[in-house]
Structure 1
Amino acid sequence: MGDLAIISTAKSKDGEQSSIKCPMLNSTNYMVWAIRMRNFLKIHKVWSNVENGTDENDKNDVAIALLFRAIPETLVLQVGELNTAKKVWDAVRARHVGAERVKEARLQTLMAEFDRLKMKDTTKIDDFVGKLSELSSKSSALGEEIEEPKLVKKFLKCLPRKKYIHIVAALEQVLDLKTTSFEDIVGRLKAYEERVQEEDGNQEDQSKLMYSNAEQQSTRDSQDDRGY
C-alpha cells in the first residue's frame, strides 16, 4: 500500500467530483502518519472527538470510519470492537510507539557504527564497500535513507590516506561529488586499486630479481677470491 488511501469522493463548489485522500499507516511511518492524520481529522471536524473521547453520534462514527480506512486490515481486526475514535487512536498509538522507539534506538546504533567505520590499509575496496552498503540497506529498512552524496563523502573520507590521497584529490577536482553516483566513485577507486596492485607486483618481481642477481654476483666474487 502507498502513503495515501482514498477515503471517499465529494462534490466541490463547482459540482465536480474530487477524491479525498488520507495518509496510510505502515510499519515504518507512524510518527509522520500521526501528524498527517491529526490534520486530516481536523479538516473533517472530528479531531475533537478523538482528542476528548466523546462519542457524539455521527462525528464519532465518521472519525472511526476515517481511522479504519487509514490503517492496515490486520490492525482493523485488532481494534474493530472499540466504540470510540479515541480508543481506536490510543490503541493504534500503543501498538506503534513502542516499536517506533525500538526502531529509533536501532537506527541510532546503526548510524553510530556508520560514523565509526574506517577502512584499514589491508582491506580491499570491495569488502569495505560491502560493509557500507550493508549499513545503508539496514538504515533504509528502518526508514532512514542514507543519500548518495553522504555515502560518497563517507567512502572517500575513510580510504587510507597514504595509499589513496592522490586519487581522492584528483577526483575531488574533476568531479562534482554532490551529483556523482556511489557506484561511479567505487568503480574508479577499484580501477585505481587494481593498477596499484599491478605496480606493487612488478616492483616486487624486480626486487626479487635484483636480489637474486646480487646473490649470484656475491657468490661469483667469493669464488674468485678463493681462486676457484
Structure 2
Amino acid sequence: MTTTSSNTMFATSSNQIPIFDGELYEYWSAQMEPIFISQDLWDIVQEGYEDPQDEDEDSKKRAGKQTKEYKENAKQNASALRIIQQAVSKSIYPRIYGIKKAKEAWDVLREQFQGSEKAISIRRQSLWRQFDNLMMKETDTIKDFHSRVAETVNQIKATGDVMEERKIVERILRNLSSKFEHIVAVIEETKDLANLPMSELMGSLIAHEQRMSRFTKPPLEQAFSSKVNMVESKYAKSEQGQRGGNSQGRGRGRSNYRGNNRQNYQQQRSGYTGSSCIICKKAGHATKDCRFKCTKCRI
C-alpha cells in the first residue's frame, strides 16, 4: 500500500519509505541513505559481503554450517534488499527482480538512473558550469535566487562532489543584481566571508530587501499611480477651461447679447426681418417702406 502527501516529493509505502518511479533518482537515493543508516544497513548496501569459501579442511568439516559473521551479513542483506524492493514502483521492480544481494540491486538502479562514472563526471562538470553562470534576475527576490542556487548545489552534491559553504556564499554575493551593490560592499568590508554562515548572509540580504521595498514602489503600482495623476490633471484643466468660458459669458458675452436684442427689436418695429424686400427683391429695407410700393395695396 502506498500513500501520497502534498508535502513529500515521492509517494511513500505504509512504513514511510519513498517510492522511486524512475524520476529524480538523486533526491530519492538521498532520502534512502538515512533510512539504511538508521537501521545499520548502509555498509551492507555500499560494500556488500562475501559468501564463505569451503576450501580448507575445517570448512569441509563444517559443511552445511555458516559462521556467525556470515549469518549476520546475510540477515542485514535480506533486510536491506527488502527495503529496496519496497522502495521501487511496479514499473521499476522488474529491473532488480531475481537479484539476491542489496548492493547489487542498489548498483543496478544507480547505473541505470544516475549513469556510469563517466556519465556522472560529465553531468558534474555541466552542473559546475551552471553554478558558475548563475545570475540573479531583476525580477528575482533574494529567496528566489537562493532557491535556484541551492537546487544546483544539491545536484552537484548528489554526484558525489563536496561543496564548501564559503564557495556558495561568494557565488551569491558575486552574482546578486545591481540594486544590492551597496549591501554587498558592506558585507565584504565588515564580514569574514571564509567563516560567514549561509543563514547569516541570507538574513542580512532579506532584511536589506525588505527595507528597500518600503521606499520603492513596484513598477506596476508606479504605472497605475502615474496614470491616475494624468487623468486627474486633465480633469482639473477641463474644469478651469469651463469656468473661464462662463466668466467670459458673464462679461463681453452679456453685452453682445444685449446689443443684438436691441437691433432685433428695432428691425421688428420697422417690419424688417433681415430678408430681402418682396416687392423690389432688394435688401436693406422693409417691404412696407419700399418706394415701389403700391399705395392702394394692403401690404
Give the alignment's TM-score, normalised by structure 2. Answer: 0.41
Residue equivalent to 1:197: 213
The ranges of structure 1 where at least 4 consecutive aligned residues each deviate by more than 3 angstroms after the TM superposition are 24-27, 72-79, 202-217
Contact 2:134–2:175 under 8 Å retained in 1: yes
Structure number having the greater helix percentage: 1
Please tell me the residue identity of whatever aligns with 1:152: V
Secondary structure class of the residue paired with 2:116: helix
Judge which range, 131-140 or 213-222, deviates more: 213-222
For 1:96-115, what aligned pairs fall within 5 Å after superposition? 99-115=116-132
**Which of 236, 239, 242 does residue 223 from structure 1 map onto?**
242
Residue equivalent to 1:18: none
Supply the distance in 1 between the matched residues of 2:186 and 2:245 (Cα, whole angstroms): 57
Q: CA deviation at 1:221?
A: 3.0
Over the residues paired in the alignment, what is the CA RMSD in angstroms?
4.4
Secondary structure class of the residue paired with 2:216: helix
Q: CA deviation at 1:119?
A: 1.1
Contact 1:117–1:158 under 8 Å retained in 2: yes
**1:192–1:101 Cα change, 3 Å:** same
Relative contact order, higher structure (CA 8 A, sep 6+): 1
**Which of 126, 132, 137 does residue 149 from structure 2 map onto?**
132
Q: How many pairs were matched up?
A: 156
Secondary structure class of the residue paired with 1:136: helix
**Which of 112, 135, 142 does residue 118 from structure 1 map onto?**
135
Question: How big is each residue's C-alpha offset from its partner over 1:157-182, in whole Å with a ceiling of 9 and x where there is no partner?
Answer: 11112x11111111111111111111
**1:214–1:132 Cα change, 3 Å:** same
Supply the distance in 2 between the matched residues of 1:142 and 1:151 (Cα, whole angstroms): 17
Q: CA deviation at 1:25?
A: 9.6
Question: How big is each residue's C-alpha offset from its partner over 1:66-103, in whole Å with a ceiling of 9 and x where there is no partner?
Answer: xxxxxx96899599xxxxxxxxxxxxxxx9xx832222
Uncovered stretches (5+) of structure 1, i.e. residues with no partner: 2-23, 30-56, 59-71, 80-94
Judge which range, 120-129 or 202-211, deviates more: 202-211
Give the alignment's TM-score, normalised by structure 1. Answer: 0.52
Please tell me the residue identity of whatever aligns with 1:123: D
Uncovered stretches (5+) of structure 2, i.e. residues with no partner: 1-32, 34-42, 48-54, 57-75, 82-98, 104-110, 248-299
**Which of 170, 182, 188 does residue 204 from structure 2 map onto?**
188
For 1:1-228, what aligned pairs fall within 5 Å after superposition? 99-161=116-178, 163-201=179-217, 204=222, 211=230, 214-215=233-234, 217-227=236-246
**1:120–1:212 Cα change, 3 Å:** same
**1:172–1:143 Cα change, 3 Å:** same
Question: How big is each residue's C-alpha offset from its partner over 1:136-190, in whole Å with a ceiling of 9 and x where there is no partner?
Answer: 11111211122111111111111112x1111111111111111111121112111
**1:224–1:176 Cα change, 3 Å:** farther
Structure number having the greater strand percentage: 1
Contact 1:136–1:145 under 8 Å retained in 2: no
Structure index of larger Rg? 2
**1:171–1:212 Cα change, 3 Å:** farther
Supply the distance in 1 between the matched residues of 2:184 and 2:131 (Cα, whole angstroms): 20
Supply the distance in 1 between the matched residues of 2:102 and 2:232 (Cα, whole angstroms): 83
Question: How big is each residue's C-alpha offset from its partner over 1:16-53, in whole Å with a ceiling of 9 and x where there is no partner?
Answer: xxxxxxxx7986x9xxxxxxxxxxxxxxxxxxxxxxxx
Contact 2:44–2:102 under 8 Å retained in 1: no
**1:164–1:173 Cα change, 3 Å:** same
